[in-house]
Chains A and B, each alone.
Chain A
Amino acid sequence: MLNDFKAVVIGGSAGSFSVVTKILSQLRPDFKLPVIICLHRLKHIRSGLVEGLNLKSKLQVIEPCDKEKLLPGKVYLAPSNYHMFIEYDNTISLSIEEPLNHSRPSIDHTFFSSAYAYRNKLLGIILTGANKDGAKGMKSIHDKGGFTIVQDPITCEVDTMPKSALREFEPNLILAPEKIIEYLNQLDS
């Protein structure tokens, strides 16, 4: 199963920037899967986040344009004030539809669409955060046979998001950030 993933999808909110930075800075440079990231962010600050992540990341981080194709070893960050969806043909769709869970981008939207596109070939990770966005999306990844990792709430700056996910379903793993990195790096990608 470890060899079969087609993508990794990560969601997070309050406190997650430092965790995502840590993950991206310690991922193997030859990591071969596309990494899709949806973080809650300030809608009117368009620049800064992707530049900040690129400073530390071993993989190239981009804010994709609509209909961009997902490529191995690239990191796709949901742009500010847009929802980000994954289509079954391995492309990204953006949207300015209404916020979901008071959020645009919404983690649930990215997770639901990724689960539909990749089913049991998807690895979903939910990190620290201050609302329940992403919890139902993680459950949909779980329900479609994907592999799920929830950040250990003890290690979270704000534990609402992982605890909301844990109320929805039982994940495959509950891990501290260091262990999430270890897990990703041992995938035979």
Chain B
Amino acid sequence: MAVNYSIKELKELSSLLTEKTGLAFHEITHSFLKRRLNQVMSRFLIKRTNQLLERLDDPQFREEFIEFFSVESTEMFRDAGMWRNLKQILLDCSSSPVNIWFPDVSSGEELYSLLVLVEEIKLNDPIKILANHCSSEGLRKVQSGIIEAKKWDINTHNYKRFEGICQLEDYFIKQEGDLKFRPDLLAKVEFKKNFILNNNSLIDKQDIVIYRNSLLIYSKFFKEDALNIIHNNLKSKGFLCIGIQEALPNHSENVFEAFDLKNKIFKKK
């Protein structure tokens, strides 16, 4: 049975969740927060919000709860035109090494797509890829390389539209009925638990930041803070990729210029 929260209740609860987890639950959009709360309470058979808050004192449950708020459903090579243009950006990039950062690698498919792309273009320069996510459980899932079989058709369709030069199955191995992304490619990635607002200064300035659709669940205020952090960690003329239905805040025009507006690739001024 779904819980019907009032706006006031949601505001109060999201502030308490922020206190309990250290993450910005108070900046999550109400529609998403409400849906996920109902799902989590149904899954863990929790009837009242005070029971939920008590259970969040258990670190293991807290970790599962945080992971529940990740949006996992995407596709490899979603928006193939963006990946085609990113390929050209990489080919034209003169940095050595090329630094690429995923501030939130929530589902893996975006990272796997990049690794396929990098493998196919065979750059001479080394590439350093940093993948962050706010929960250890989420990172473990991405590192496992397992993708859902039901997404295979759409992934291969997207790969063809991306104009890949191999077969997508070349990048996977079959393991007990599942498809697992090649570990030798995943080994090129540094995985690190991190929430963007909590630890916001990277050692290396980045050439490319891929942060597509992760901000959809957050308020515009969170988005502004996150984009400021990304801006600070990008090299001059570095690239930012966001989701094709996302927009930069108005004041960002001063610090980013559109490189490919249709596919939402921006360049730091």
Contacts and interface: CB of A to CB of B under 8 A. Distances in A.
Interface of A: 44, 46, 63-68, 79, 81-82, 85-88, 93-99, 113, 116
A65 B247 contact: yes
Given A66-B216, A98-B72, 8 more contacts: A65-B245, A65-B247, A81-B78, A86-B31, A87-B31, A94-B243, A98-B73, A113-B31
Interface in B221-249: 223, 243-247
Given A86-B31, A96-B73, A97-B71, A63 B245 contact: yes
Given A86-B31, A116-B31, A96 B71 contact: yes
Given A94-B216, A95-B217, A96-B71, A66 B31 contact: no
A93 B246 contact: no
Given A67-B247, A95-B217, A96-B74, A44 B31 contact: no
Nearest to B249: A67
Given A44-B161, A93-B32, A116-B31, A65 B246 contact: yes
Interface in B125-181: 157-158, 161
A96 B213 contact: yes
Which 8 A/B pairs are nearest by Cβ-Cβ distance?
A85-B31, A65-B247, A98-B73, A113-B31, A93-B29, A67-B220, A96-B213, A79-B245
Contacts of B30: 87-88
B26 to A, nearest CB: 14
Contacts, number: 61
Given A44-B157, A44-B161, A66-B216, A95 B247 contact: no
A161 to B, nearest CB: 22
Contacts of B244: 46
A159 to B, nearest CB: 28
B7 interface: yes
A49 to B, nearest CB: 14
Contacts of B157: 44
Contacts of A96: 71, 73-74, 78, 213, 216, 243
B245 A88 contact: no
Interface string B185-208: 000000000000000000000000
Interface in B51-74: 71-74
